[in-house]
Amino acid sequence: MTEATIIDGKVIAARVTYKIAAQTEDYVRETGTPPCLAVVLVGEDPASSIYVRNKGRTAEKVGFNSIQHTLPIDTPEDDLIALINKLNSDPVVNGILVQLPLPTHINATKIIELIAPEKDVDGFHPINIGRLGAGDFDKALIPCTPAGSVILAKSVLGDNLSGLHTVILGRSNIVGKPAAQLFLAENCTVTIAHSRTRNIEDVVRLADIVVAAVGRPEMVKGEWIKPGATVIDVGINRIAAPEKGEGKTRLVGDVDFTSAATVAGYITPVPGGVGPMTIALLMANTFAAACRQNGVPHLIKPL
């Protein structure tokens, strides 16, 4: 029997996008044009195509202009570089997102570093990473998934996370490291655990908040969880689901939801947890970028 309270990311993300839509109306009244998000997709990977489509729909829903550039999978790196340079110099475009992963013949690091930091709505550019690390949130564009994880934790624990022990499973530049910075900014005690962590189960068991971002299906078991802890499952993994029929699959997180939900106080589902928040925070970054670029930062309101 599930005992934990489910953290509904769809509902919380809808609240965020509702606020952004209202702020966008103020922005358009002041500037005369809506914020503009440009999304670049190289290839036709089904999962990436779905993500890009959802991002475009949400952008239009909150009142943004949305531009999508879909390039063939064999697009030369120089052609992608030329497109990024064009978007960087276009004053109409406020945010640029290049959907990852990129084909192997394209250097993803080079592309990320090419995006103008003030338009880097994923928050992956080294300048934004540095600003985040320095605590300069007024200038940084913050990675969306880590920011969404903090908001989800606050949605059930309240705005004051001070003193809580957060254990982050995973040390990626996309989730693990920026999540650590954000929870530190909330005055949490933060531990980053990873594949080389000894007695990892014991480390996780100390956590008031667990952020699982390792990319291993259902790795975190219920017995790893401290009773009453809040579990934020960032993982999204597709595994075989023979019970649904031959060749069928299903999505699971990095946490074994069934066992963890009998121990945790609060837990995010997969899907429907962190995923919707990632898209909502992408809209928040695009709005913040537009306000900063056009001299109207007073319109940026707390989420």
Domain ranges of the chain: 31-116, 144-275
Position 2 scores a pLDDT of 61
Q: Provide the CATH topology of domain 31-116.
A: Rossmann fold (3.40.50)
pLDDT score at 49:
85
Residue 46, pLDDT score: 80
Thinking of the domain 144-275, which architecture would CATH place it in?
3-Layer(aba) Sandwich (3.40)
Q: Is the pTM of this model over 0.85?
A: yes
Please give the average pLDDT of every successive group of 10 residues along the chain, which has 303 residues.
89 97 97 97 86 92 97 97 98 97 96 98 97 94 97 98 98 96 97 96 98 96 98 93 86 96 97 96 98 95 84
The full DSSP string for 61-99 is HTT-EEEEEEE-TT--HHHHHHHHHHHHH-TT--EEEEP
In a 3-state reduction of DSSP, which class is residue 172?
coil
Catalytic residues: 55, 99, 122
pLDDT of residue 63: 98
182 contact partners, CB below 8 Å, separation of at least 6: 132, 142, 146, 147, 149, 150
Say which residues have a Cβ less than 8 Å from residue 116's Cβ, sequence separation at least 6: 88, 96
What pLDDT shows up at residue 247? 83
Single-letter amino acid, residue 193? A
**Per-residue pLDDT, 128:** 97
**Amino acid at the residue 287:** F
